[in-house]
């Protein structure tokens, strides 16, 4: 069974770094059988990774060590019956003010657990951005 993971982090990456992240991730994800989508706002990242748990865990270990991310926080990690991004080794969406607000609401919350409605809004926004990409 596949798993789906959503994380947010503070962006410590330049635009050139992001181009490198996207290119390397697409190649590596294809080899690992992982799909997903990345949103890079002005100050934050949000990413959904889907695939075999061992592959998703390995990718998250890499993200946590990556100097272009800070404050990495996994918000969701569940088993799934079907993937949201089956056709994307990595759909990439640049930032949008709306998404910036969704990510900030989750990253800067006061509660120990994120509000499920906020999580749902962010995942839906990422799905919509991925669908809009050619």
CB 51 within 8 A of CB 32: yes
Q: What is the pLDDT of residues 76-134, one digit of tens each?
A: 999 999 999 999 999 987 766 677 778 877 877 777 788 888 888 888 888 887 877 65
What does the alpha-carbon distance between residue 29 and residue 36 come to, in Å, rounded to a whole number? 9
Model confidence, pTM: 0.87
- pLDDT at residue 111, as a whole number: 74
Q: What is the pLDDT of residues 63-73, one digit of tens each?
A: 999 999 999 99
* Mean pLDDT score across all residues of the chain: 89
Extended strands (E) in the chain: 2-11, 35-40, 44-52, 69-80, 91-94
Local structure of 88: helix, strand or coil: coil
Longest alpha-carbon distance in the chain: 38
Q: What is the pLDDT of residues 23-43, one digit of tens each?
A: 999 999 999 999 999 998 888
Q: Please count the structural domains in the chain.
A: 1
Which domain does 105 fall in, by range? 2-132
Could you tell me the CATH number of the domain that includes residue 14? 3.30.70.100
């Amino acid at each position: 069974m596949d798993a789906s993971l959503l994380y947010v982090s503070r962006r410590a990456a330049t635009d050139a770094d992001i181009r490198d992240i996207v290119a390397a991730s697409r190649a590596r994800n294809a080899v690992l059988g992982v799909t997903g989508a990345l949103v890079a706002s002005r100050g934050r990242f949000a990413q959904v990774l889907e695939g075999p748990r061992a592959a998703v865990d390995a990718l998250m270990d890499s993200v946590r060590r990556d100097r272009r991310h800070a404050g990495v926080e996994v918000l969701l990690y569940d088993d799934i019956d079907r993937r949201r991004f089956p056709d994307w080794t990595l759909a990439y969406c640049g930032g949008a003010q709306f998404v910036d607000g969704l990510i900030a609401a989750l990253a800067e919350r006061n509660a120990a657990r994120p509000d499920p409605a906020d999580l749902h809004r962010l995942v839906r926004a990422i799905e919509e951005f991925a669908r809009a990409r050619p």
